[in-house]
Amino acid sequence: MPARPSPRLASLCAHVLLLGALTITSAAAQPRPAAAPRPVAARGPLGAEELNQIAVFRAASPSVVHITSLGLQRDLFSLDVQQVPQGTGSGFVWDTQGHVVTNFHVIENASAARVTLADQSSHRARLVGVFPERDLAVLKIDAPAGTLRPLPLGTSADLQVGQRVFAIGNPFGLDQTMTTGIVSALDRQIESVNRRTIRGAIQTDAAINPGNSGGPLLDSAGRLIGVNTAIFSPSGASAGIGFSIPVDEVNRIVPRLIRDGRFVRPAMGAAYAPQELNRALELPRGVAVVRVQPGSPAERAGLRPFMRGERGIVAGDVITALDGRPVANTDDLFTLLEQRQPGDTVMLTLWRAGSTRRQAVKLAAPED
């Protein structure tokens, strides 16, 4: 049977072990020298595409503005009415007179709006005019001309699928951001806030998110080619399918909003039937005239409306084309009329009781 160690020897061994543990712990607690930072690799010159994107943003961003629409709210306790933010969007400077272009839906139902320029100065805006059918609105601010940088205008008539584009705006209320993409498709149709069809829309995969509405779509030269207006996304965030109103439409509408305070569509002085009448009477594709105002251009041109007679419906005129361009419904007709001015003469193609004729009509201003 082995001999048991004496209590004195056991105590001595425990003391030695404790000193060893303290020594190890003390050594581990000593700070180690910091590792040397890794050397930074040389970047080299930026690529031509990167330099172009940087140049476009620097040139265009001073023209892009942030818009806050204001609504009225009554205090629950004091019953005081005050203006509170109800939405945000983007816009851009149109000219040095202080006109700013944005989407109609950005300021729809607002009691007032404020425009924040790129230098962070904020200005109260007044409404100049709107055209909901194209989701466009014009505001005006009183700002020093030196702070107003209009965007150079391009054209949308010669755009090509695959062309590089840039979108600048204030998504989610953040500061100016730029996204890049290409023209994904042309001549798309989207629906305006009042259910009218916007034709010729530009489709792009450049990320467009809430807050980008009303901001510019630019080409690689930094020219305005569209106004970002809508996205197609179940989640409400960018899904790579965005739409812009083509600049040729914008440049046609905005000057008239500035001049007249509204967009005046010339009229012929006639009322038109819904498409159900064409189907019920087996009429050709077109717009059936159902009323002609006395003394109107339509009456002077000899247009005859469909009427109910003793023996049934008396045949009238169906407008099938305007200046040689087909008219399938009232949306087509109104779109073509919007491209004319009061006083212009248009050539209608009319169908009546199986025969076709052409008739010139001088357009007039609509009655208020």
Q: Which of 135, 219, 248, 332 is catalytic?
A: 135
Q: Which of 66, 99, 105, 123 is catalytic?
A: 105
Cα separation of 217 and 221, whole Å?
A: 11
Q: Which of 184, 192, 213, 296 is catalytic?
A: 213
Run of H or E residues at 50: helix 48-60
Cα separation of 45 and 49, whole Å?
A: 12
Catalytic status, residue 80:
no
**Residue spans of beta strands (DSSP E) within 210-266:** 216-219, 224-231, 242-246
Contact 106, 213 (CB under 8 A): yes
Contact 329, 365 (CB under 8 A): no
Q: What is the largest CA-CA distance in the chain?
A: 136
Contact 113, 70 (CB under 8 A): yes
CA nearest 201: which of 187, 212, 182? 187
List helix spans (H) across the chain.
7-29, 48-60, 104-107, 247-260, 275-280, 297-300, 330-337
Measured in degrees and rounded to the nearest 5, phi and psi for residue 231 equal: -130, 155
Contact 190, 201 (CB under 8 A): yes
CA nearest 220: which of 47, 64, 52? 52
Catalytic status, residue 135:
yes
Catalytic status, residue 105:
yes
276 token code pair: 């159900």
Q: Tokens 């179940």 belong to which residue?
A: 234
**Which residues carry out catalysis?**
105, 135, 213
